Amino acid sequence: MEELQQNLIPGAGFYQKHLGFEWGPGDLIVYETNYKLQGPRSAGSPSVHIVRRDEDICSPILRKLFSESHLIFVGLQKIKEDVPSKNKKSQFVSISKNYRSVIRACMEELQQNAVSTQSGSLASQYGDQVSILLAIELIWNLCEVLFIDAAPAGSLLLQLLDWVRLHKSDVDAKAREVLQSDSPAQHQSYWDVVISLVLQGRTDEARQVLSKQASLRAESSSVFKRMDGLLQTMPIFNPTGTQTLTEFEVKWRHWHEECDRCLQDNTFASNRHLETICKILVGDEDTLLEQKELLSTWYHFLVTRLLFTHPTIKPPDLHYYAQSSMNMFLGPRASPEPLDIILLSAFEFDLHQVIKDCSIALNNWWFVAHLTDLLDHCKLLQSHNLHFGSNLREFLVLEYASGLFTHHSLWQLAVDYFDHCPEFGRVYLELQIERVPLDTERKAIKVLRICEDRQMSEQVRSICKIMAKRALRNNRLGSALSWTIRAKDAAFATLISERFLQDYSNKGSFTDLDLLDNLGPAMLLSDSLTFLGKYREFHRLYGEKRFSEAARLLLSLMTAKIAPRSLWMTLLTDALPLLEQKEVIFSVDQTYELMSCLEELNSGTKHSNLTDQDEDIESTKTELLRLALARNLTMAIVKEGTIET
Amino acid sequence: MFVAKSIAADHKDLIHDVSYDFHGRRMATCSSDQSVKVWDKGDDGEWHCTASWKTHSGSVWRVTWAHPEFGQVLASCSFDRTAAVWEEIVGESNDKQRGQSHWIKRTTLVDSRTSVTDVKFAPKHMGLMLTTCSADGVVRIYEAPDVMNLSQWSLQHEISCKLSCSCISWNPSSSRAHPPMIAVGSDDSNITYSGKVQIYEYNENTRKYAKAETLMTVTDPVHDITFAPNLGRSFHVLAIATKDVRIFKLIPMRRESANSSGPTKFEVQVMAQFDSHNSQVWRVSWNITSTLLASSGDDGCVRLWKANYMDNWKCTGILRGDGSPVNGSGHAAALSAVGVPVAAQMVVGAASAGRLKHSMLQYFY
């Protein structure tokens, strides 16, 4: 098995030869250790090393690529199934073009950075990334032509020509340079430009440049006129026109024969450049191969060759020419690069091979995930059933999205990708969303909303519980309570209610009044919480001087057994100010009930852990209450027995 | 390509284990210097040591975090035959300003008669449960019935494995489709009992753990073992560090409805086996999404393994120390790469003649 590069971690492996590790979110911790547990002790002070993929320089720009392609992805998923396929094809092509323009925009920005940066190493990093994106766009564009647009014979070649022209932009720059020079015809690159334009099938532009030459040499103008004529009459298939492919083919043959005749007649013998051009027009392979430097790639050679020998090439025949072109161009000794192999697989219409090779060669999930997703929508992939029943598209999208999830801000994009993976998206999302660090309340709420929208109730509960626990640890009872209510955790709610009550008995007042006043039905989550809410309501009623309502509530807390026994004394003590009001608040019946509560409390086992002093206080309280209750009773009896006049 | 940043750990002896907390914002390290250190990642992305204290009277082998639902809780195990549970308490405000926190011991588990080699918390849906394994061949499962009171732990199960145990792993799946499952690895060189990995399953009826499977094909000492996260599969995936890296697939076989009393029967398949370390493999660990497995071996390398969509496993990365002393700069330094360059590099056009490095579009996860 071919060995991969070993990545060396500086500062490790000096004292101990084993490496321990632990996975982190998006990185790996590595440290020196010795698993054999015997041997020399560590001589120096050990370090831990945090290893991650390098993403410093290009990441802000790539981030744009990720977020913009995310929008395109989501839009693509929304395309309805029932739209007729012809309309869909144009939609898919336009989506493909969108993706490509996003790639190009990213490339341009990176290129600008590469040019403007001072540091040599940074420039080369930018440059590397640009090269990768160039390759990606090249492959994507070819896939668009061959698979998505699926151009038939005739249009196929035209689109391939466009493809080549787009990826060989140096011709335009050279042409401009030549034309803008003082004497274009004398420019050293003059003929290179003309030939390059011809090789790309840009006959009009070639004629324009040629005309600069013609104006100079009057005596050979007829030769130039002849060439101009050939170039002008070269038939170009018009897919939207009325001419059929067969008619075009006939026309083209005639023209081809005419070019050939010129060669046979030695028409251009006086000018070797023109002769070369004529040979190109005839599609002479050797001449084409001589232009290797201008063509620079075998696929340019392929397309040019087809242009001048077989312009009506049909898609299934493409691969034969592709293979032979590559062999001819590269020669016997050179071996094809991975990019070459990928392009060849595309020409052979072997989609799966393209995707597989891209995954390996590029090590790049963004590209294969989005391209495969688009191809899948075009129904071009037969789904290979994986061992757990998913398909290739889903596998790649899951891989890509999982990677996004480790990023501190891009993770939100990943959610949409998981949403559109029908088999495993949900379970992947459940697993990963729990790991998003809940740095702030706002972030926690954001994460929660995502889970709530998808009915991920266990994740909701867990996140709320974590937040509640954290709030409780930091003594923020109100926050803890609201998280607990959201988590619907009854046991924890009881705990927090008891802490509230404890706080109250220590401080004499409640905290977080807003929360307690507005509990609503959440109060029912646990008995302690219900009591807490009602107790606070009692205090509120008292504050608003709604004494009879307060009195009724207080009594019901005891008689309905909502209040825990331990707090009855506190409640009865709370009743004292109501008993000592000038007007009678508790009715006779209510007073009897209070009395029986007091007696019930006293008849229970005495707390043995009370000190003598405490016992004294308790009995004093009881006496006070008995007195107050008795007085209230008399006043109530009198009041209720009096007839109002 | 890869960047590494060093943090001076300040332990006075070998580090044996490092553990990230659930969210990856805190880290615990433990060492032969008998102490545990806790590190927090600040908003600036830098790690700061916020606690360091002596935990045992012998080398501390492993340290692990409980799920944050239970608060900030750590467990450690040691050569001193004990395991301990620690809880962070919110300190004084000036401690917070100084960036220090306090950890107090909630309990010490002293049941083992030999070195305690691994300590793991069970999956959170089982409650707050702690598991230890020891060189005396016993796996012990403790439970804290009141999660608010971490000083009360009861020993719920003692599983006698007959072989000295080196590692344990819980199946993290909370699916109701199968009962709790724990795998135990042994580094015993005993040849009578040849299967060095045992799988135990909880039985609802007997309320006990019973052995469900022994991997008889694993006959060499096992140093580490780890279940992969489940991700909706019907089968389980278990990675083992032994004389090589081995990944097993455990497919639960359908029960006949009459005989539902015994533990599940499994069909065991080997998904992958790698001997690239060419030596003993000491640690294996899955990343969070179980898309990557990392292993560390005697050859001083950490290797990353990945399966493609056809389930073919390949090595996708190798890390090794460069053998130089610590540079201590704390700056992120790019890792130099050596070895035969991978044939799969891209060249685009004639314009850029150089070989391309791996794209940054690939995240490390």
What is the 8-class DSSP label of residue A522?
Answer: G
A504/A539 Cα distance (integer angstroms) = 12
Phi, psi dihedral angles at B312 (to 5 degrees): -95, 125
* Inter-chain residue contact B321 with A437, CB threshold 8 Å: no
Q: What SS3 class is residue A54?
A: coil
Query: Is A436 in the B-facing interface, judged by CB distances under 8 Å?
Result: yes
A163 CA to centre of own chain: 29
Task: Supply the pLDDT for residue A610.
Answer: 65
Rg of the Cα atoms in chain A: 42
A601/B81 Cα distance (integer angstroms) = 51
| Mean pLDDT, all residues of chain B | 85
Task: Supply the pLDDT for residue A597.
Answer: 85
Nearest to B6 among A47, A127, A362 (CB): A47
* Inter-chain residue contact A30 with B12, CB threshold 8 Å: no
Q: How far is B339 from chain A (nearest CA, A)?
A: 5
Q: Which of A280-284, B1-5, B58-62 has the lowest mean pLDDT?
A: B1-5
* Inter-chain residue contact A14 with B347, CB threshold 8 Å: no
Selected residue of A131, A365, A396 to mutate for chain B interface (largest B Cβ count, 10 A): A131
Pairing of β A6-9 and β B313-321: parallel
The answer to whether residues A392 and B309 touch, using CB atoms and an 8 Å cutoff, is yes
CB neighbours of residue A317 within 10 Å: 14
The answer to whether residues A551 and A585 touch, using CB atoms and an 8 Å cutoff, is yes
Contacts of B308 in chain A (CB under 8 A): 356, 359
pLDDT at residue B169 greater than cutoff 80: yes
Q: How far is B149 from chain A (nearest CA, A)?
A: 12
Nearest to B360 among A55, A167, A367 (CB): A55
Q: In chain A, what is the straight-line distance between the N-terminal and C-terminal CA atoms, in Å?
A: 110
Q: Could you tell me the two tokens for B47?
A: 């790690």
* Inter-chain residue contact A18 with B4, CB threshold 8 Å: no
* Inter-chain residue contact B18 with A134, CB threshold 8 Å: no
pLDDT at residue B330 greater than cutoff 90: no
The answer to whether residues B74 and B64 touch, using CB atoms and an 8 Å cutoff, is yes
Contacts of B9 by beta carbon, 8 Å cutoff, 6+ apart: A31, A45, A46, A47, A48, B15, B29, B31, B37
Query: Is A382 in the B-facing interface, judged by CB distances under 8 Å?
Result: no
* Inter-chain residue contact A45 with B326, CB threshold 8 Å: yes
Does the CA dihedral B22-B25-B31-B37 come out positive or negative? negative
* Inter-chain residue contact A338 with B344, CB threshold 8 Å: yes
Q: In chain B, what is the straight-line distance between the N-terminal and C-terminal CA atoms, in Å?
A: 14
Side-chain half-sphere CA neighbours of A424 within 13 A:
26
pLDDT at residue B353 greater than cutoff 80: no
Contacts of B31 in chain A (CB under 8 A): 46
Contacts of B350 in chain A (CB under 8 A): 296-297
Phi, psi dihedral angles at A131 (to 5 degrees): -60, -40
Task: Supply the pLDDT for residue A607.
Answer: 59
B168/A232 Cα distance (integer angstroms) = 80
CB neighbours of residue A641 within 10 Å: 8
Contacts of B23 in chain A (CB under 8 A): 25, 435-438
Side-chain half-sphere CA neighbours of B3 within 13 A:
13
Query: Is A120 in the B-facing interface, judged by CB distances under 8 Å?
Result: no
Please give the average per-residue pLDDT across B133-147, as a whole number: 94
Task: Supply the pLDDT for residue B347.
Answer: 29
Selected residue of A7, A165, A166, A355 to mutate for chain B interface (largest B Cβ count, 10 A): A7
Nearest to B347 among A18, A52, A337 (CB): A337
Q: What SS3 class is residue A439?
A: coil
Domain ranges of chain A: 18-56, 163-313, 391-432, 437-544, 564-604+611-644
Containing H/E element for B183?
strand B181-186
Q: Given the structure tokens 């497995």, which residue do they identify? A: B293
Task: Supply the pLDDT for residue A364.
Answer: 64
* Inter-chain residue contact B317 with A7, CB threshold 8 Å: yes
pLDDT at residue B126 greater than cutoff 90: yes
Q: Which of A547-551, A599-603, B61-65, B301-305 has the lowest mean pLDDT?
A: A599-603
* Inter-chain residue contact B321 with A32, CB threshold 8 Å: yes
The answer to whether residues A363 and A384 touch, using CB atoms and an 8 Å cutoff, is no
Alpha-carbon separation of residue A70 from A355, A413, A420, A525 (angstroms): 20, 7, 12, 41
Touching B: A residues 331-370, CB under 8 Å: 337-339, 356, 359-367
A519/B133 Cα distance (integer angstroms) = 47
Coarse DSSP helix, strand, coil percentages of chain B, rounded to the nearest 5 percent: 5, 45, 50
Nearest to B315 among A4, A17, A469 (CB): A4
A394/B120 Cα distance (integer angstroms) = 33
> Which residue is closest to B305 within chain A, CA to CA?
A4
Task: Supply the pLDDT for residue B355.
Answer: 27
> Which residue is closest to B93 within chain A, CA to CA?
A474
* Inter-chain residue contact A59 with B15, CB threshold 8 Å: no
Contacts of B20 in chain A (CB under 8 A): 22-25, 29
Query: Is A129 in the B-facing interface, judged by CB distances under 8 Å?
Result: yes
Q: Could you tell me the two tokens for B113?
A: 């008669």
pLDDT, tens digit, 9 for 90 and up, residues B5-26: 888 888 888 899 999 999 999 9
CB neighbours of residue A233 within 10 Å: 13
CB neighbours of residue A463 within 10 Å: 26
Alpha-carbon separation of residue A197 from A173, A277, A307 (angstroms): 12, 10, 13
Contacts of A37 in chain B (CB under 8 A): 59
Q: How many residues does chain A have?
A: 645
The answer to whether residues A344 and A322 touch, using CB atoms and an 8 Å cutoff, is yes
User: Which segments in chain A show pLDDT lower than 50?
Assistant: 1-2, 385-389
Task: Supply the pLDDT for residue B327.
Answer: 56
Rg of the Cα atoms in chain B: 22
Task: Supply the pLDDT for residue B81.
Answer: 95
- Alpha-carbon dihedral of residues A62, A64, A67, A73, nearest 10 degrees? -80
Query: Is A315 in the B-facing interface, judged by CB distances under 8 Å?
Result: no
The answer to whether residues B297 and B277 touch, using CB atoms and an 8 Å cutoff, is yes
Selected residue of B37, B95, B173, B309 to mutate for chain A interface (largest A Cβ count, 10 A): B309
* Inter-chain residue contact A11 with B22, CB threshold 8 Å: no
Q: How far is A21 from chain B (nearest CA, A)?
A: 7
Task: Supply the pLDDT for residue B357.
Answer: 31
The pTM of the full predicted model, rounded to 2 decimals, is 0.86
> Which residue is closest to A10 within chain B, CA to CA?
B322
Q: How far is A497 from chain B (nearest CA, A)?
A: 14
The answer to whether residues B162 and B144 touch, using CB atoms and an 8 Å cutoff, is no
Contacts of B8 in chain A (CB under 8 A): 45, 47
More confident residue, B339 or A308: A308
Interface size, chain A vs chain B, as Cβ–Cβ contacts under 8 Å: 359
- Burial pattern A144-164, b for ≥16 Cβ within 10 A else e, equals bbbbbbbbebbbbbbbbbebb
Q: Give one DSSP letter per residue of B38-82, joined into a string.
A: EEEE-TTS-EEEEEEEE--SS-EEEEEEPPGGG-SEEEEEETTS-
Q: How far is B283 from chain A (nearest CA, A)?
A: 7
Query: Is A403 in the B-facing interface, judged by CB distances under 8 Å?
Result: yes
pLDDT, tens digit, 9 for 90 and up, residues A143-181: 999 999 998 999 999 999 999 999 888 898 888 888 888
Planar angle of CA A249, A157, A338, nearest 5 degrees: 145
Task: Supply the pLDDT for residue B346.
Answer: 34
pLDDT, tens digit, 9 for 90 and up, residues B218-227: 999 999 999 9
Q: What SS3 class is residue A20?
A: strand
